[in-house]
Amino acid sequence: MTPAERDLGARTSGVWTTTAARAAGLSPAQIRRRLEQGEWQAVRRGVYCDGGVVPNPIMRASAATQRAGHDAVAVGRTAARVWGIALVDDEDPATDRHELTHDDVSVARGRGAGPTLHTRSLTLGPEATTVLGGVRLLAPVSTLVDLARILRPDALVAAIDSALFRRRVTLAEVEAAAESRLWWPGAPALRQALALCDPLAESPHESLTRLVVKPLLPGLRSQVKVYDGRGRLVARLDLGDEQLLLGIESDGAAYHRGAAARDRARDRRTGWTIERVSWYETRRQQDQLRARIRATAADLRQGRAA
C-alpha cells in the first residue's frame, strides 16, 4: 500500500471517493479488486470506507456530502445523527418506518438526489454550520430548525426533547432561532413543537407517551420522585400526577418479563397506581391507550371522592 492510498479518508472521517482513489494512483481495476476482496466497502455509490467497518454517523455524513458534491453540507436527519439527536422514525417496526439509510444534504450544485440521498438548497450563514471530522454540517440549533421542515410533529418534539436532554442546545437558543425565522418553511411546526417539548424527557418513548396522555392529565410531570414513609427514594417515574398518585412508565422495546416482574414489585412499594405503556401502544394503539389511562384516572378520582 502506497502512502497516498494509506492517507485516503484521513481528512474526511475515514471515507473517500473514486476520484480521491484515482488521484492516489489506483486504477479502476485496483479499486474493483479491493471491493471484491472486502478490503474496501461502498458506503454510497462511488464512496468507500475500510471493509469490516460499521459506518458511524459522521462517516455516513461524510459519504453523503462527498457523494452530493464538494460544496455539500450535511443537514436534517444526517446532521441530527451526528449530534446524537434521537430520530424515532429511523428504525421503528411498529409503524414500519425505516429511515436510517436516508440522508439529507444541502447543495448549491452537485450530483442531485437519489432514493436515499435527499438534496435541497438552503441559504446558510456562517453561524449555521460547523466542521467536524472534515465534514461541514449544520450546528445543533440549525439542525432542529431544519428538522422542522421534514419530520412529523411527534418526531420533531422527540428530537427537540433529545437535544435538550443531551444538552446539545438550550431551550432559549431554539426559541430564539424560531423567532428569528418566522417566515422559514417549518417555522410554524417548530413553534408548535417548542410549546410541547420537555427537557426532562430521558428517551423518545417518554416524549411520545407524554404527547399521547398529557392532554388527558394536565397535571402530569416528568421524572417524579416517589418516597416511602421513611423518606427513602422508592422510584422515579417517567410521568406522574401527584394529586391522583398515578404514574405512567414507558417500557422500551427491549422490555422483558423478568424486568416486568421486578418493576411490578417496585410499583407496589410506591403506593401509587402505575400504568405501564409499551412502545407498540404508544405508536399503534393510541386510542386504546388513551381509553385505558382515562378509565384509570376516573377510578382514582372516584375513589378519592368516596
pLDDT, tens digit (0-9, with 9 covering 90-100), for 78-133: 999 999 999 999 999 999 999 999 999 999 765 566 789 999 888 888 889 999 99
Q: Which residues of 82-111 are buried (b: 16+ CB within 10 A; e: fewer)?
A: bbebbbbbbebeeeebebeebbbbbbeebe
- Residue 275's pLDDT band, with cuts at 50, 70 and 90, is very high
Q: What is the DSSP letter of 219?
A: T
Give the other-Cβ count within 10 Å of 68's Cβ.
27
- Give the Cα separation of 83 and 141 in Å (integer): 10
Phi/psi for 129 (5° steps) reads -125, 165
Q: Tell me the pLDDT tens digit for each residue of 161-215.
A: 999 999 999 999 999 999 998 888 899 999 999 999 999 999 999 999 999 999 9
279-285 mean pLDDT: 96
| C-alpha grid cell, residue 39 | 478490503
- Give the C-alpha separation, 74 to 43, whole Å: 15
The reported pLDDT for the residue numbered 258 is 46
CATH of domain 206-305: 3.40.960.10
Least confident of 10-24, 101-115, 143-157: 101-115
- Confidence (pLDDT) at 157: 98
Task: Look at phi and psi of residue 46 and say left if phi exceeds 0, alpha if psi is from -120 to 50, else beta.
Answer: left
> How many residues in the chain?
306
User: Average pLDDT of the chain?
Assistant: 91
Name the nearest CA neighbour of 161 among 229, 238, 93, 215: 238
φ and ψ at 222, to 5 degrees?
-85, 150
What are the residue ranges spanned by the domains of the chain?
Answer: 3-50, 68-199, 206-305
